[in-house]
Structure 1
Amino acid sequence: MINFNIAAWRAWAPGLESAADWQAWSQQPEVLAPSDAAPDVSFLPAMQRRRLSRLARMAFSVGWPLAEGHEALPLVFISRHGETPRTFDILRDLAADQPLSPTQFSLSVHNAVIGLWSILRGETSEMTALAAAGDGLEHGLIEACGLLNEGAPAVLLIVTEEQPPEAYAQWIDDVPFPYAVGLLLTPGEQWQLSLATCTSVPVKTRWPHALELLRHMHGEPTTFQHAWKNRVWNWQRTP
């Protein structure tokens, strides 16, 4: 079992930016219409903004405000699928015998976002990029709580997924729309998370775990479960 506090949070999806937007969505969740909208990252210089994909922009838009005022803030970045649009473009260029862009390749790797974060913020704290399964949120929380237990006063956790190209639709079916969720975690007993093994076929949640967490943060139930394969994650929130 691990314990932690969520001191602050932010989330972004096309048309969902404020806490009120997410509260309304949590009460009546629905799949958002396809959109090319991207979050506002005007706090970054224009030259640096141009290098950021929408995935990176989403991560920066939720993480940057949470990191303000915190020095030496460790970061745990989680994305199951990563930069699928970039990698698809690279594969398409390969298939067409076109020269590859070194910039596209360097920004397509899974830890590119935390590398850019470190450069743009001048941050040298410990950072981890995880490519987990559907319960990446929980695996990221284990990593973050390990850092808290080692003495970090706070840890920033960011979960983000980009809408994959249509060519991947047959294999990637767990991204209902582009989204990013940022959590500023601190030591405490506000939340408890434990793991159990399921011997029967578990019931998967309708929404990705990070979005399910937002729903429960805006609801009344203080206990809930997230299941993935044979793992059942038991959540409990102090009222």
Structure 2
Amino acid sequence: MINFNIAAWRAWAPGLDSVADWRAWSQQPRTLAVSDSAPDVSFLPAMQRRRLSRLARMAFSVGWPLAEGVADLPLVFVSRHGETPRTFDILSDLGAAQPLSPTQFSLSVHNAVIGLWSIMRGETSEMTALAAAGDGLEHGLIEACALLNEGAPAVLLVITEEQPPEAYARWIDDVPFPYAVGLLLEPGEQWQLSLATGAPSSTGTRWPHALELVRHLLDERTSFQHAWKSRVWNWQRTP
């Protein structure tokens, strides 16, 4: 069992930015229409913004405001699939026998986002990039709580997924739309998370775990489960 507080949170998806937007979505969850829209990251200089993919922009848009005013903030970045559009472009160039861009490759690796975050914020705290399964939210929380237990006063957890190219549709079916969720975590007893194995007491989660968490943050449910294969994660919030 791990314990933690969620001091603040932010989320972004196309057309969903404010708490009011997410509250409306959480009351009537739906798959969003395909969109090329990207979050506003105008707080970054234009030269820096141009290097960011939409995945990176999503991560920065939810993480940057949460990190403001917090010094020496470790970061845990979680994405199951990572930079699929950028990787697909690289593979397409390979298939067409075209020269590859070193910049494209360097920005396609899984820890590129935390590297850019470190450079743009001048942040030298510990940072981790995880490629987990469908319960990446919970694995990210374990990593973040380990940092809290080591003495970090706060840890930033960012979970984000990009809409994969159509060519991946047969293999990637767990990204209903592009999204990012940021959690500013602190030591405390507000939340408890424990792991069990076996069948969940209710049906499996319909939406990715990070989106389900946003729903429960807004409806203030005190207990719920997230199930992934044989792993059942029990969430408990102190009223």
Q: Verify same fold: TM over 0.5.
A: yes
Matched-pair contact (CA < 8 Å) for 1:201–1:229: no
Structure 2 equivalent of residue 63 of structure 1:
63
Per mean C-alpha deviation after superposition, the further-off stretch among 216-225 and 198-207 is 198-207
List runs of 5+ in structure 2 lacking aligned partners: none
SS in 2 for 1:218: helix
Q: Which runs of 4+ in 1 moved over 3 A?
A: 199-203
Structure 2 equivalent of residue 96 of structure 1:
96
Structure 1 equivalent of residue 26 of structure 2:
26
Structure 1 equivalent of residue 188 of structure 2:
188
Q: 1:185 to 1:201 in 2, by over 3 A?
A: closer
> 1: CA distance between counterparts of 2:18 and 2:231?
32
SS in 1 for 2:15: coil
Cα root mean square deviation, aligned:
1.2
SS in 1 for 2:219: coil
Deviation digits for residues 41-98 of structure 1, max 9, x if unmatched? 0000000100000000000000000000011000000000000000000000000000
> 1: CA distance between counterparts of 2:48 and 2:220?
41
Structure 2 equivalent of residue 138 of structure 1:
138
List runs of 5+ in structure 1 lacking aligned partners: none
Instruction: Report 1:214-233 matches (<5 A).
Output: 214-233=214-233
Measured after TM superposition, the shift of residue 219 of structure 1 is: 1.2
Measured after TM superposition, the shift of residue 218 of structure 1 is: 1.0
Measured after TM superposition, the shift of residue 199 of structure 1 is: 5.5
Matched-pair contact (CA < 8 Å) for 2:200–2:232: no
Measured after TM superposition, the shift of residue 113 of structure 1 is: 0.1
* Equivalences, count: 239
Structure 1 equivalent of residue 204 of structure 2:
204
Structure 2 equivalent of residue 11 of structure 1:
11
> 2: CA distance between counterparts of 1:201 and 1:216?
17
> 2: CA distance between counterparts of 1:238 and 1:190?
5
> 2: CA distance between counterparts of 1:69 and 1:201?
41
> 2: CA distance between counterparts of 1:199 and 1:27?
26
What is the identity, as a one-letter code, of the residue corresponding to 2:169?
A: A
> 2: CA distance between counterparts of 1:236 and 1:113?
31
Deviation digits for residues 12-62 of structure 1, max 9, x if unmatched? 000000011111111111000110000000000000100000000000000
Q: 1:16 to 1:227 in 2, by over 3 A?
A: same
**Normalising to structure 1: TM-score of the pair?**
0.98
Matched-pair contact (CA < 8 Å) for 2:199–2:232: no
